[in-house]
Chains A and B, each alone.
Chain A
Amino acid sequence: MDVFANLATGFGAAGTLQNLWFALVGCVLGTLIGVLPGIGPIPTIAILLPITYGLDPLSSLVMLAGIYYGAQYGGSTTSILVNMPGEASSIVTCIDGHQMAKQGRAGAALAVAALGSFFAGCVGTIFICAFAPPLAALAQQFNSPDYFSLMVLGLITAVVLAHGSVIKAIAMIVIGLLFGLVGTDVNSGATRYTFGVSVLWDGLDFLPMVIGMFGVVEIIRNLEQPDLHRSAIAARFRDLWPSMKDFHESWRSVLRGTGLGALLGILPGGGVVLASFAAYTVEKKLAKDPSRFGKGAIEGVAGPESANNAAAQTSFIPLLTLGLPSNAIMALMMGAMMIQGIQPGSAVMTSRPDLFWGLVASMWIGNLMLVVINLPMIGIWVKLLSLPYRFLYPAILLFCVIGVYSTNNNSVLMVFTAGFAVFGYILVRLGCEPAPMVLGFILGPLMEENLRRSLVLSRGDPMIFIQRPISAVLLALSVGVVALIVLPVLRKTREEAFQE
């Protein structure tokens, strides 16, 4: 079997001392930010990007990926013990997880969340092995028009599956695309929207944008809230073993959550948040006695926690095979790859098999590390939870600015960061979700290039997007997705799903 040979390559690449170390760093950092409310994986990955410039590509990807899926583990701890989601993907875990903790079953909830996540992570990795090679093979037949249509489909699906207003999210994507064009046009050499500022000639650096719009805005918004008194319910390692009854009640939920999460993770815009919400809804619908939900049903922890971790793994599939980031985190990973001189897409698997399979193998290793980090070390994380926000936010802010500043030691970047923070704050106040903008920003130049090449091929005839079969199918799917959202019945289910 090819897969086994490939996996052997992967484990060889990921198993070096250096890569194991960076996987561990990523997983610990991910757990840390997952546990701490007020900082999520997006600004954390952005802050660490400059540090990865000096690493080799595999080490940096292994670490950044570890942060992303590590945060899914850590997020559940805060949800269960404090009734406050450490991450957006753990919001639903609060509902039943915290009730379990109040009833003295915190240990069982934490253990089921971690073991369910571990199982889901392993299955997610297998999913990548199974689906990535055929998708990459398909992608090699793609031509410029097909890529353009693929990006249209990806962006539209991302918007429809994300929460909030669809039309505003589309506007955010288009604004992101426009911002992505700042800098020197590769074809004509003309500078666009640079206003004579020389740092803009190479394009708008995405660190000030991401850190300003996500890191800094998040801090400001947290400071606007009155001080919350967080009281964590104590949990010790020796209480952690779930009973046979807990196992019996939750294993089906873990399976369902894993399957659902793995599928939703592949979809553009799907990602971890949607996966956890969908899994909770499914568990509630399938339960013999739905009234137990909200009062400490173990299925309500097992399902969503497995789903978000499965989705965290499989959301790498579109990026690694099609070069299409499915959410803002993947857009950052794509940025990290491009900085290292690797163009994400179908070619990665053939030209850098060690990179692709190494990353896949590292995810499995990372998931194993995370169980160890989360279960026996639970006491440390609980202690961290009692750290008040007034000590936390100056530290987060300092890390944010050091991250931006260290890209090229230019104080203009700090002004950009502040500017994007203002912009991001206005957007949030106006009910516009800024995450789609990052997707547009990363894809802007690629979309323009593929549009240009397509229209050169067709001598300016836009019909080429319908005449080519692959492109036509992708565009038809895009129209279908838009139609779905316009249909009232489906819109209603979507609203219900997000309201829970």
Chain B
Amino acid sequence: MFRVKSPQDFGSAIVFLLIGLAGLYFGKDLTYGTASRMGPGYFPYLLSWLIIAIGVGVGFMSLTIEGPPIERPQLRPIFFVLVSVVVFGYLMSYVGLAITGVVMTLIAAFARRNFNLLESVALGIGLSIGCVLIFVYGLGQPLPAWWGE
């Protein structure tokens, strides 16, 4: 029977195959052309097939060669860090950098287990002031500092 000997390689093979197949599927309407007149689809197809081939190869390797297991991901840091990134983009266009910075710092602070409200609020306000001063007023980046800008 098949037995996965290297979970990391097996997982990589699946990722490679998915990307290669997606490359072929989403590129199916692109003109392939000929070698002497390459169409927009020529190089993407070539690369997609190459990724699939490597995926198959790595897949076989994962069944024959022993390898390290996949470490269990911790969801807490992943979740809060990613939410803070997306929320930042959403809030920026409404309330500007000063308030967004504080909110983002608070969300990001939840990524750690020992959340301390007072400390995080203080840090958020400090970072926000610093970033507004550096990026908006100091470097003149085209960022809204406040709402309605």
On A, residues with C-beta under 8 Å from B are: 50-51, 54, 165, 167-168, 170-171, 174-175, 177-178, 181, 185, 187-188, 190, 192-193, 195, 216, 219-220, 223-224, 390-391, 393-395, 397-402, 405-406, 409-415, 417-418, 421-422, 425-427, 429-432, 447-448, 451-452, 455-456, 458-462
Which B residues touch A394, using CB under 8 A?
A: 104-105, 108-109, 120, 123-124, 127
Give the complex CA separation of A54 and B8 in angstroms.
43
Q: Is the CB of B101 within 8 A of A398?
A: yes
Q: Is the CB of A427 within 8 A of B15?
A: yes
Can you list 21 A-B pairs with a CB-CB distance of less than 8 A? A54-B140, A168-B9, A170-B54, A174-B54, A178-B19, A190-B40, A216-B85, A393-B111, A405-B88, A411-B89, A412-B89, A421-B81, A425-B73, A425-B78, A426-B11, A430-B70, A431-B9, A431-B12, A432-B15, A447-B43, A451-B38
Q: Is the CB of A398 within 8 A of B70?
A: no
Q: Is the CB of B92 within 8 A of A460?
A: no
Tell me the nearest residue of chain A to B7, going by C-beta: A430
Tell me the nearest residue of chain B to A165, going by C-beta: B9
Which A residues touch B55, using CB under 8 A?
A: 171
Give the complex CA separation of A188 and B32 in angstroms.
12
Which A residues touch B37, using CB under 8 A?
A: 456, 460
The tally of residues in B whose CB lies under 8 Å from a CB in A reads: 70
Give the complex CA separation of A415 and B70 in angstroms.
26
Q: Is the CB of B54 within 8 A of A167?
A: yes
Q: Is the CB of B30 within 8 A of A405?
A: no
Q: A394-B109, A401-B104 are in contact. Are A429 and B70 (CB under 8 A)?
A: yes
Which B residues touch A192, using CB under 8 A?
A: 27, 30, 40-41, 44
Q: Smallest distance from the beta carbon of B21 to chain A beta carbons, Å?
A: 12
A395 CB contact (under 8 Å) in B57, B61, B127: B127
Give the complex CA separation of A170 and B36 in angstroms.
26
B143 CB-CB contact with A under 8 Å: yes
Q: Is the CB of B104 within 8 A of A398?
A: yes
Give the complex CA separation of A458 and B38 in angstroms.
12
B1 CB-CB contact with A under 8 Å: no
Q: Is the CB of B12 within 8 A of A181?
A: no
Give the complex CA separation of A324 and B106 in angstroms.
42
Q: Smallest distance from the beta carbon of A253 to chain B beta carbons, Å?
A: 35
Which A residues touch B47, using CB under 8 A?
A: 174, 177-178, 181
Which B residues touch A462, using CB under 8 A?
A: 35
Which B residues touch A399, using CB under 8 A?
A: 131
Tell me the nearest residue of chain A to B84, going by C-beta: A397
Tell me the nearest residue of chain B to A391, going by C-beta: B123
Count the A-B residue pairs with Cβ separation under 8 angstroms: how many?
A: 187
Tell me the nearest residue of chain A to B43, going by C-beta: A448
On B, residues with C-beta under 8 Å from A are: 8-9, 11-12, 15-16, 19, 23, 26-27, 30-31, 34-44, 47-48, 50-51, 54-55, 57-58, 61, 67-68, 70-71, 73-74, 77-78, 81-82, 84-86, 88-90, 92-93, 97, 101, 104-105, 108-109, 111-112, 120, 123-124, 127, 131, 135, 139-144
Tell me the nearest residue of chain B to A452, going by C-beta: B38
Q: Smallest distance from the beta carbon of B42 to chain A beta carbons, Å?
A: 8
B34 CB contact (under 8 Å) in A187, A193, A391, A460: A460
Which B residues touch A224, using CB under 8 A?
A: 73-74, 77
Which B residues touch A415, using CB under 8 A?
A: 86, 89
Tell me the nearest residue of chain A to B55, going by C-beta: A171
Q: Is the CB of A51 within 8 A of B31?
A: no
Give the complex CA separation of A165 and B55 in angstroms.
13
Q: Is the CB of A430 within 8 A of B54?
A: no
Which B residues touch A220, using CB under 8 A?
A: 77-78, 81, 111
Q: Is the CB of A418 within 8 A of B82?
A: yes
A455 CB contact (under 8 Å) in B36, B104, B143: B36
Which A residues touch B27, using CB under 8 A?
A: 192-193
Q: Smallest distance from the beta carbon of A461 to chain B beta carbons, Å?
A: 8
Q: Smallest distance from the beta carbon of A36 to chain B beta carbons, Å?
A: 15
Give the complex CA separation of A31 and B58 in angstroms.
40
Q: Is the CB of A190 within 8 A of B15?
A: no
B19 CB contact (under 8 Å) in A175, A188, A447, A452: A175
Q: Is the CB of A223 within 8 A of B81?
A: yes
Give the complex CA separation of A12 and B139 in angstroms.
26
Q: Is the CB of B81 within 8 A of A426?
A: no
Q: Smallest distance from the beta carbon of A398 to chain B beta carbons, Å?
A: 6
Q: Is the CB of A401 within 8 A of B89?
A: yes
Q: Is the CB of B123 within 8 A of A455?
A: no
